[in-house]
Structure 1
């Protein structure tokens, strides 16, 4: 058989399959209006929708990328789901990290094959799947989740995507139910990257700093500007990291029909802010910022953390002028 028709090696733990659709695999059906249905193929079972039904046996054994017609005349496009498609339609216990942000985390936090990544706040397991694929079977992802019900959902989703059977799980994954701030120091783990997806990531910064190897990266995923500010200032106050870098990504599709080429009316706007900083070697500090903060940035109304090297005193005259 042609090598291209052979399935991906199971030991790669990619979550991807080649060749004809098999029983036990998940497929994604998309109708003419873009409505999507994901389900597991089971011999003898039927899929039902408002367009009638179709038998799973009609799909099993065929190469993906075909159309099938239901009993009521509905046409569906059939493919295996991509990771980016799977995570937005999988069962949820908590909000998922969307593919646009997962991609940014994998790229900008430089998640590499063989890396040891610690993840705090596993949620529904969306980011976990991307991290596991990036580190590969020779890496390690240690996930911490406070809530047992979220951990259960994440465990099922990760096992579903990577096609594990008989209760086995990805060999690079370890899921701990507990608070990272307490559990990580207790485990004594050292790691290359730490991803913090939680309400108060600043509470975990000391534990993260102790666990990160020099040159390692901490990355926080936060939803609001107040969380963003608090985390960044806590990183600065710690003193053991480089200057934090913060950003967000916005995704806009385009409408393309002949000469009608324009931005789509809808877009995927704000989902979260991302912040990264690199761990300095023990006892080392990053050079001081040369640019002075804006007048009033750390004025009398500011009550958050202050950088370890201090900030310029409040310029009351400048504040009065601005007012």
Structure 2
């Protein structure tokens, strides 16, 4: 990850790839995978064969060519072969490549959570439940290098898998994974009055809110994520006894595609494109008649054909002083 430091004091993304590191192999924006680097390892994809030995010692962000490219590998020769980029597993990229053990939060929701929880280096955060660890990773970067994330999940195997991911990505010094039913038992007494922020992703968050009020420091912030508005209503009702400034948000993300394209038409909608202005030229028809024709090669911008809709509702509240 970008958070932990190596012995030389450099962020992981600024050092060179070593055996045991996790790298994000980037083929294109919608085709990435996490790969654990090991001596003698091989990755095969549609672009060719890539040997892990050729990655060792390279900086994160390197562009590497397939071994089948004739002179590829450590020599870096192109020879018409395929290539990939080797990226550091930042929280944003990890969210896109992690194993889905549960439904996860994506970057749009995560960014608002980190912002409204007012997280800074040194903060202590309690999270329930851990799930696949998508949000946990971003929370850890926000509180690094001296803060701490205590995350809880009632499912023992899910917690164990998340712990392995955090260890592999070098986050063990920032994240503690615990097995506990927060809805039924509340947060452990050892965290009473010690948390700067609490995040809940539970089917019945209102059951945990009394415990949250005991864990937060004065003026601490709570965030509860729920997919259904009925859950939000019950959670807000429970919050009113000891929280103030209660707000609920829904994040709807619209992505645009940007690509090169050619337009051939008598009429060009200038508002739909950016780039050079169209040039008119004469075009002869089979009958010899001259017609004005606009031909344009430009950058086309349009909404993506598929868009993520509703993910959930984010409710924030501040502990009443």
Give the TM-score range, shorter chain: 0.7 to 0.9
4+ runs deviating over 6 angstroms? 11-15
Give the Cα separation in 2 of the matches to 1:261 and 1:278.
Answer: 41
Alpha carbons 2:47, 2:66 under 8 Å: kept: no
Task: Name the CA distance, whole Å, in 2 between partners of 1:32 and 1:248.
Answer: 29
Q: In structure 2, what is the Cα distance between the partners aligned to 1:159 and 1:8?
A: 11
> 1:280–1:197: structure 2 CA closer, same or farther, 3 Å change rule?
same
Which of 212, 221, 225 is 1:217 aligned to?
221
**Cα gap change, 1:110 to 1:205, in 2 (>3 Å):** same
Does the C-alpha gap of structure 1 residues 114 and 220 become closer, same or farther in structure 2, counting only changes over 3 Å? Answer: same
The residue aligned with 2:247 is: 245
Q: Residue 65 of structure 1 corresponds to which residue in structure 2?
A: 62
- Mapped partners of 2:53, 2:225: distance in 1: 43
Q: Which residue of 2 aligns with 1:187?
A: 190
1:14 deviates by: 9.2
Question: By how many angstroms is 1:65 displaced?
Answer: 2.9
Matched, 1:274 2:277: no
The whole-number CA distance in structure 2 between the counterparts of 1:271 and 1:41 is: 33
Shift of 1:218: 0.9
| Aligned equivalent of 1:137, options 131, 145, 152 | 145
Per the normalisation by structure 1, the TM-score is 0.75
Tell me the TM-score normalised to structure 2 length.
0.75
- The alpha-carbon deviation at position 275 of structure 1 amounts to 0.4
Say yes or no: does 1:125 pair with 2:139.
Answer: no
Instruction: Tell me, in whole angstroms, the C-alpha distance in 1 between the residues paired with 2:125 and 2:108.
Output: 19
Which residues of 2 match residues 50-129 of structure 1 at below 5 A?
Answer: 50-63=46-59, 64-71=61-68, 73-129=81-137
Q: Shift of residue 176 of structure 1?
A: 1.9
- Quickly say closer, same or farther: Cα 1:65–1:268, change in 2 above 3 A: farther
Residues 40 and 213 (structure 1), Cα distance of their counterparts in 2 relative to 1, 3 Å cut: same
Whether 1:22 aligns to 2:15 is no
* Gap runs ≥5 in structure 2: 70-80, 260-297
Report if aligned partners of 1:91, 1:157 keep a CA contact under 8 Å in 2.
Answer: no
Q: Give the superposed CA RMSD.
A: 2.6
